[in-house]
Structure 1
Amino acid sequence: MKKKNIIFIGMPAVGKSTVGVVVAKRLGKQFIDTDLLIQEQEKKLLREIIAEVGEDGFLKIENQVNRDVDVENAVISPGGSIVYCEEAMQHYKEIGTIVYLQASYQTIKQRIRNPKKRGVVLREGQTLKDLYDERCVLFEKYADIIVNEDQCEIGDTIENVLEELSRL
């Protein structure tokens, strides 16, 4: 029997945390933002961790924290880079339903404006578009449900997610 968790994946600015909190309330589940778990474990802000250990070091920590999440009946919102963490993603596949909040590059670009301020880690010479293209393939690979949110207000996205989940 699958644990009844819901895991949101998607690019930064798709509303994983915002949608996640409301979905958790509506379904009577707890809400977990794993970026906060990482900060709590490391006693540092994400950007400080990345500055100290680099992107690869951060991904190791992100993988470990997410892989070790042991809950039932929760809505979990990991950071966008979680799809690079294979162990964590396998763990999430086993403990719940993965919902990919999908948005076009145009929508993401509009919402993010400044990737650096948003804490989006871009490798040397990598553009936001490169990151988007690279991650979308992975989001689609792991998703059990895909909810597109282009031209949607946050309320519409929440309703669409709840509707998709009710079909399971």
Structure 2
Amino acid sequence: MPGSGKSTLGVLLAKAAALGFVDTDLLIQSQTGSTLQAIVDGEGYQALRRIEEQVLCSLDVTGQVIATGGSAVYSDRAMRHLKQNSIVVFLDISLTAVRQRIGDFSLRGISKRPDQSLEDLFAERYELYTRYADVIIQGEHKSQNQVLEELLKVTAEIQRDLPALHKQPHS
């Protein structure tokens, strides 16, 4: 969700792990010459989702920490691309924390239906976030450093276990 810390923690994780960093919201803005909010206002929320899918599917995810937009999970194609060669992390915070961190969400370029409340959006996305996540990190009531340490530990464990996972027969 917006305000979960994707961009901030993404930069910190990339620095700590000596990886590249990509913020797909910034890529979208750079490629379109528009802010996310301008895209939503001018073309609609589904246009933003289509653009986001194109950007995500064109990324080489190897050696990168990628902070996706919160609506990336609406594209099964994009999520399959990300999961193919990377670890998908869901930074889990409550709706209350989202409200506190983002303030006026109408200015954030959030891809949501015009009639959709933040509560409904949160519930809809939560199910998708948990479906696609390889790792769920509780981000609320923790410092950035605490979340970063947890991210480093969990991703190192998963990377260590990847060769064994690839040798297992698929069902």
Q: TM exceeds 0.5?
A: yes
Task: State yes or no: 1:150 paired with 2:150.
Answer: no
Distance in structure 1 (CA, Å) of the matches to 2:111 and 2:72: 12
- Residue 33 of structure 2 is matched in structure 1 by 43
- SS at the partner of 1:14? coil
CA RMSD of aligned residues (A): 1.2
Higher deviation after alignment, 113-122 or 30-39: 113-122
Unaligned runs of 5+ in 1: 1-10
For 2:12 and 2:129, locate their aligned partners in 1 and report how far apart those are by CA, in whole Å.
22
Runs of 4+ in 1 over 4 A off after TM superposition: none
Does residue 126 of the first structure (1) align with residue 77 of the second (2)? no
Q: Does 1:30 align with 2:20?
A: yes
Q: Which has the higher helix share?
A: 2
User: How many angstroms apart in 1 are the aligned matches of 2:78 and 2:31?
Assistant: 16
Larger radius of gyration: 2
Bigger relative contact order (CA 8 A; separation at least 6): 1
Q: Distance in 2 between matches of 1:121 and 1:89?
A: 16
Q: Residues 50-89 of structure 1: matches in 2 within 5 Å?
A: 50-89=40-79
1:91 is aligned to 2:81? yes
1:114 partnered with 2:84: no
**Matched pairs, number:** 158
Report the equivalent of 1:6.
none
- Judge conservation of contact 2:61–2:82 (CA < 8 Å) in 1: no
Structure 2 unaligned segments of length 5 or more: list them. Answer: 159-171
- Whether 2:149 is the aligned partner of 1:163: answer no
User: Kindly, what percent of the aligned residue pairs are identical?
Assistant: 39
Query: What displacement does 1:113 show?
Result: 1.8
